Homo-oligomer: A and B are copies of this chain.
């Protein structure tokens, strides 16, 4: 294996080990020693990629959303609904997403305390901004403020679902989140065409 490919693989193994340890014990209780042990690589290899637990946390929160690039269809509001359902299903088993939640609620990075939320608010802001151009939003809705509200509410809903059912009922709760918020987001013309359960997502169990 080429040197660079090996480095990429090692970095990924460390990141996933960190996500598992943080997801299991929380960010504050997680130690570099346990992360190094779980990754199965040398201490030197870990510190080559990440100089501290803080650096690992930053990588988790900036990279957790990458596999979930939203689709682009004629309805950006429906794209947003579908996107949040895909993330909900993944949250049940995706170590990076689960660790990202622990980091968001336990930690605030002093120079950018909103970092754990930023990738999500950026994605939703883009979709809401394009929904505005398509005439899908109520005139009173401000896309970036609405995106901040939505991401915050989604965080609360998935924490509640974790407490209620270890996230088994998260798809239903995400549907309920949209049912309760779409009348305050979508224009009357768009509202009738939107499916709060998401398209091409397995029915809520």
Main SS class of interface, A: helix
State the Cβ distance, A11 to closest chain B Cβ, in Å.
Answer: 27
> Quick one: which of A25, A106, A151 has the most chain B CB within 10 A?
A106
Q: A148 contacts which chain B residues (CB < 8 A)? A: 160, 173
Tell whether, in the assembled complex, residue A157 and residue B156 are in contact, meaning their CB atoms are under 8 Å apart. Answer: yes
A114 contact from B25, B164, B179, Cβ within 8 A: B164
Tell whether, in the assembled complex, residue A163 and residue B117 are in contact, meaning their CB atoms are under 8 Å apart. Answer: yes
State the Cβ distance, A141 to closest chain B Cβ, in Å.
Answer: 8
Q: A159 contacts which chain B residues (CB < 8 A)? A: 104-105, 152, 155-156
Q: A140 contacts which chain B residues (CB < 8 A)? A: 179
Q: A177 contacts which chain B residues (CB < 8 A)? A: 149, 153
Interface size of A as a range:
35 or more
Known: A157-B152, A180-B149, A184-B179. A163 touches B29 (CB 8 A): no
State the Cβ distance, A74 to closest chain B Cβ, in Å.
Answer: 24
Cα A162 to Cα B106 in complex, Å, equals: 11
- Tell me the residues in window 64-121 of chain A with beta carbons closer than 8 Å to chain B beta carbons: 104-106, 108, 113-114, 116-117
Cα A161 to Cα B182 in complex, Å, equals: 22
- Tell me the residues in window 12-62 of chain A with beta carbons closer than 8 Å to chain B beta carbons: 25-26, 28-29
Chain A 172-183: CB-based contact to B (< 8 A → 1; otherwise 0):
010011011111
State the Cβ distance, A119 to closest chain B Cβ, in Å.
Answer: 14
17 more A-B residue pairs beyond the given contacts A104-B159, A151-B156, with a C-beta to C-beta distance below 8 A:
A26-B26, A26-B28, A29-B29, A104-B163, A105-B159, A108-B163, A113-B164, A117-B160, A140-B179, A149-B173, A149-B180, A151-B160, A152-B161, A154-B156, A155-B159, A181-B184, A183-B184
